[in-house]
Structure 1
Amino acid sequence: MPSDPDHRETADPALRRGGPLAGVVVLDVTRVVAGPFCAMILADMGATVIKIENPKDPDYTRTFPPMVDTGENEVSAFYAQYNRNKLGVSLDLRSAEGKDLFRKLVRKADILIENFRPGVLDKLGLGYDDLRLENPRLVYAGISGFGRSGPNSKRPGYDNSGQATGGLWSMNGYPGQPPVRVGTIIGDLSASLYAAIGILAALREAERTGAGQVVDISQQDAVLSLTESAVVRYTVDKEIASPLGNDHPFVRPYGQFPCADGYVFFGGYTDKFWAITCALFGEPGMATDPRIDTMEKRFDPEVSKTIVTPLLERWFSRHTKAELEAMAGDDVPLSAIKSIDEVIADPHIQARGMIVDVPVGGRDVPMLGLPIKLSGAKPAPHAPAPALGEHNVAVLRGLLGLDDTALAALGDKGVI
C-alpha cells in the first residue's frame, strides 16, 4: 500500500497518470541520466513522478543539445527524452522551508530516487535514516558511482568511471590497440535499469510488510555485471579479457562481415544454421566439407580465418544488407548493421512502438520509446518534460494543501 492510504484520493486528479503504476508517487531528486532515466521508466508506466530541482541550480541537461527552437527560447530534446511524463517542482533543499516541504512530500511518496554522492543528503538532514522517520514505507533508491558502502563509496563518478573501473572499457576495441569506451553511456543507463528493478522489488516488499528500505545502485557494479564471461574466464582459467574488436572470445563465425553496401552481423555458427547458410548461397556441399563440417572445427581461429571467413565474405559481397536480410529471413541469424537513421525507419522498430512522439517546445519530437511491453497496458500520449517549477502550484497545493498566500511567500523567499 502507499505510505499514506488517502494520498491517492487527496491528490489533484491532474497529478495522477494511468498505467500499471498509477497512484504510486515518486520523488525524483536526480539529474543528467543516471536517475532521470530510472524515474522516466516509472513515469512511462504510470507513476506520478515529481522531479525536484534547485530553483537556482536546475538539472543542467536542460542546456544539452539537440535544442528545439520554440520561437521564444530553446528547449533541450535531450532533457525531454529522460524527463517526459514528469511533474516539475523547484525546491531549495538547503533552506529550512525547503527541507520542511520536502519532508512533507516524502510523507506522501512511495519512492524517492537520488543520485548524489553518498552522504550529501545526510548532511542536509534528508538522508534515508532521517526520511524513514517521516515515512517508514519509503523506498529510497540511491544511484552513485561506487555505491553506498566500500572504500571508494565517496568518490565522484560518471559513466566513464563505471566503464573504466567495471572492466568493460578494458575489453572494448581492437586487438593490439588501446581500449575504447563503449559508444554510449552504458554505465548511466544500466544503473538506471537496475535501480528500476530494485525499486519495484522493494516496493512489493513495502506493500507486503509496511517497511521500506534502501536500493543501493553502483555504476561500477552495473557495468561489471555486463562483462559476460570475463569474470569466470579469469577465475577459472586466469584468462584476462582483452579487446577483440567484432569477434567473440570463442564462437565462430559470429561477428561483423562486409557486404555490397555496408556490413552485417552473421551468427550462424551451429551445425544447423551452417548447413542452411551453405544451401542458401548455393554451396550445400560446404556443410559436409571435412575441414569445417563441425561447430568445433569452425571455432578454431586458424580455420575460421583461412576458410570460413573468406567463404562468407565471398557470399556476402554479392548482396546488399537488405538483400541478405531478405534471404536469411526467419531461417538464419543475419542482421544488417544499421545506422541510427535506418533503425528509426525500421518497420519492426516502428511496429514495436520504440519511437514515440513527445511534445517538445510546441511540436512533437520522435524519441526513444519504452522497451517494456505489458499486455495489460494501453499506450497513452506522452506528456512533455516539465519547465522548471512548472507544477509547483499543482503539487504543493494538490498534495500538501498549500494556499496561494503560502505559495507566494515561498516564491518571494526563493524557496520554490
Structure 2
Amino acid sequence: MKPLQRFTVLDLTRVRSGPAAVRQFADWGANVIKIEEPGVAADDKPGGSAQFADYQNTHRNKRSITLNLKHPKGKALFMELVKNADVVVENYRPSVKHKLGIDYESLKAVNPRIVYASVSGFGQDGPYVDRPGLDQIAQGISGLMSVTGEPGRGPMRAGIPVADLTAGLFCAIGILIALLEREQSGEGQWVQTSLLQAGLWMMDFQAMRWLMNREVPGQSGNDHPTSSPTGVFPTRNGHMNIAAMGNDIFMRLCKVIGAEELLTDERFLTVPLRAKNRPALNAAIADKTRLKDTEEWIALMNEQGVPCGPILSMDQTFENEQVRHLKMAAPLAHPKLGEISVVGQAVKFSRSEFGDLTPAPERGEHNGAVYTELGIGPEDLERLRQEGVI
C-alpha cells in the first residue's frame, strides 16, 4: 500500500506551482483526478519537446477527465466528485473560483470535510489580489533577485522557478497539516499560500539581516554573503566549489592547498576579517587551486574534511555517482516513447515506496473510468460530451 492511497485529490491546477503540490500526493499513491477544460488550454498543452518533457514530470501518476465548470451540468458533476473527495487544489487567480461558484465555502456546503488548497501569486486578499502572479514577478518582489548575481551586474533571477516550486511544496505541507487536523476536528479547511510568501520564506537569513539588523543584503555572486572563503575557485581544468567556514575548516584548507602563510596573515585571522578582505583572500586561494585539476583537489580536500565539490552540467549531474545512488532519475514506461526518466522524489522512507510511475495522462483519457465510478453510463456520457459538458 502507498501511504496516501486512501485520499482522493481533485486537481484544478496548471503550469507549475499547483502541479508541484499535487505531484506529492500523486507520487505517494493518492487517487488524483486532473480536471481539464474540454478542448485545449494553450498554457498547459505539451507543445515542443522541452514542454512535453516537463509535462511528463509534472503530471505523472494522475487520471485526467474533461469537465466544463462553466456549464451548469459540469458544475453539478464537479460537486458530485467533491462529495467523495478529500482535497481540492487550485491555482486560479483568486476571483476565478468565486465566479465559477467552486470556492471553499461552496464546496464546504457539499462536503464539510473537504480540504481546499489555493496557490496564488500574492495571496487571496490584499492590494495585489487581482494582479497576475508569475514566478519571476514574485522573485523580484521577494528580494530574491536583489541578492542573486554578481555585484554591479543588476538584478538576476534564479535559474529555476524557485517561487513556483516552493509555493507548491508549502501548499502540499499545508494540505497534509489540514488532513492531520481533520482527524481531530472532523472538518476540513481552506489552505492558502502564494509565490510571494514562498519567496519571502526562502530569503531566510537574508531577510533576517534586514528584519533584525536593518542591513540591506546585496549581491555577492558565487561568494557566500557573510562567510569567507566560500565560493567558486579556478582549477587547472575548470572550477570547483569550496566552503571553508569557520576557523578550523579554514586552517585545514590552507594546509591542503599549501598556503599556511594565510593563517598568520593579519587580514585573515578571524571570520569577520576574512569576510572583509574577501577579494584578497580569494585571489590567494585561487593562486593555489589553479595548480591541480578539480578531481585532485576534491580527493585531497575530502580526505581532510574540507567541504568542496565539482560544478556540473545537467548531463554530468545525472551521471554523478551519488545522484545515481539516490535514484533521482526515476524510470517511467511511456506508451509512445517507451522507457523514459523523470525526476525522482527528494524524500525517502524506511518502508514506503512510491513504486512504478505512470505517464502524464492525455486530456480526458480517463473520462470513461472516472464517470463510470459516478454511476454515469455510456449513453449518458455521450450525451454529456455532445452537450459540451465534458
- The counterpart of 1:61, out of the listed 27, 44, 65, is 44
Indicate yes or no: 2:270 matched with 1:310.
no
Is 2:48 aligned against 1:49? no
Secondary structure (helix, strand or coil) at the match of 1:237 reads: coil
**Structure 2: gaps spanning 5 or more residues:** none
**Which of 25, 31, 52 matches 1:76?**
52
Kept in 2, the 8 Å contact 1:64–1:78? The answer is no
Query: Structure 1 counterpart of 2:2, which letter?
Result: G
Does the CA contact (< 8 Å) of 1:53 and 1:59 recur in 2?
no
Q: Within 5 Å, give how 1:277-316 maps onto structure 2.
A: 277-284=253-260, 286-300=262-276, 302=277, 304-306=278-280, 308-316=281-289
Q: CA RMSD in A?
A: 1.8
Which runs of structure 2 are paired with 1:389-404 in the superposition (5 Å)? 389-398=364-373, 400-404=374-378
CA gap 1:170/1:297 in 2 versus in 1, 3 angstroms? closer
1:174-207 per-residue CA deviation (whole Å, 9 max, x = no partner) reads 2122101111111111110110110100111112
Residue 413, structure 1, aligned to residue 379, structure 2:
no
Residue 235 of structure 1, CA deviation: 3.2
Q: Aligned-pair distance for 1:258? A: 1.4
Return the letter of the residue paired with 2:26. A
Give a deviation string over 1:256-301, Cα, whole Å, max 9, x none. Answer: 111122221111121211222222224445445555343343222x
Identity of counterpart residues, as a percentage? Answer: 35
Rounded to whole Å, the distance in 1 between the matches of 2:16 and 2:330 is: 19
Question: Is this contact kept in 1: 2:10–2:85, CA < 8 A?
Answer: yes
Q: Is the 8 A contact 2:167 2:198 kept in 1?
A: yes
Counterpart of 2:91?
115
**Any idea what SS the aligned residue of 1:249 has?**
coil
Question: Counterparts of 2:209 and 2:27 in 1: how far apart (Å)?
Answer: 39
Instruction: Return the TM-score normalized by structure 1.
Output: 0.89
Deviates more, 1:105-114 or 1:283-292: 283-292
Which amino acid counterpart does residue 168 of structure 1 have in structure 2? L
Output the TM-score relative to the length of structure 2.
Answer: 0.94
* 2:160 equivalent in structure 1: 184
Letter in 1 for 2:229: P
Superposed structure 1 runs of 4+ greater than 6 Å apart:
none
**CA contact 2:27–2:354 (8 Å) conserved in 1:** no
Q: Does 1:336 align with 2:310?
A: yes
**Which residue identity does 1:152 align to in structure 2?**
Y
SS of corresponding position for 1:364: strand
* Correspondence for 1:152 among 122, 128, 132: 128
Alpha-carbon shift at residue 118 of structure 1 (Å): 0.6
Q: Which of 141, 144, 148 in structure 2 is aligned with 1:165?
A: 141
SS of 2:202 mapped into structure 1: coil
What is the match of residue 222 of structure 1? 198
190-199 vs 151-160, greater mean Cα deviation = 151-160
Residue 7 of structure 2 corresponds to residue 24 of structure 1: yes
**1:134 and 1:348 mapped to 2: Cα distance?**
49
The amino acid of 2:352's aligned partner reads: A
Paired residues of 1:34 and 1:189 also in contact (CA < 8 A)? yes
1:239–1:291 distance in 2 versus 1, CA, 3 Å: closer
Moved more, 251-260 or 373-382: 373-382
Q: Is the 8 A contact 1:170 1:180 kept in 2?
A: yes
Match of 1:175 in 2: 151
C-alpha contact 1:64 1:79 (8 A) present in aligned 2: no
- 2:249 corresponding residue in structure 1: 273
Cα drift, residue 393 of structure 1: 1.2
Distance 2:47 2:205 in 1: 36
2:341 to 366, 380, 390: 366
SS in 1 for 2:130: coil
Moved more, 227-236 or 268-277: 227-236
- What is the alpha-carbon distance in structure 2 between the residues aligned to residue 273 and residue 124 of structure 1? 59
Q: Tell me: CA distance 1:244–1:357, structure 2 relative to 1, closer, same or farther (3 Å).
A: same
Whole-angstrom distance in 2 between the partners of 1:385 and 1:24? 19
Tell me the number of residue pairs that the alignment of Structure 1 and Structure 2 aligns.
388
> Which stretch shifts more, 278-287 or 174-183?
278-287
CA contact (8 A) 1:358 1:383 kept: yes
Counterpart position of 1:376 = 351
Q: Distance in 1 between matches of 2:214 and 2:363?
A: 52
1:346 aligns with 2:308: no
TM-superposed deviation, 1:314? 2.0
Task: Write out per-residue CA displacement over residues 127-148 of structure 1, whole angstroms, 9 at most, x where no aligned residue.
Answer: 1110001110111000010111
Q: Distance in 2 between matches of 1:379 and 1:226?
A: 27
State whether residues 56 and 342 of structure 2, in contact with CA within 8 Å, keep that contact through their aligned partners in structure 1. no
Tell me how far apart the structure 2 counterparts of residues 291 and 220 of structure 1 sit (CA, whole Å). 40
Contact 1:266 1:335 in 2 (8 A): yes
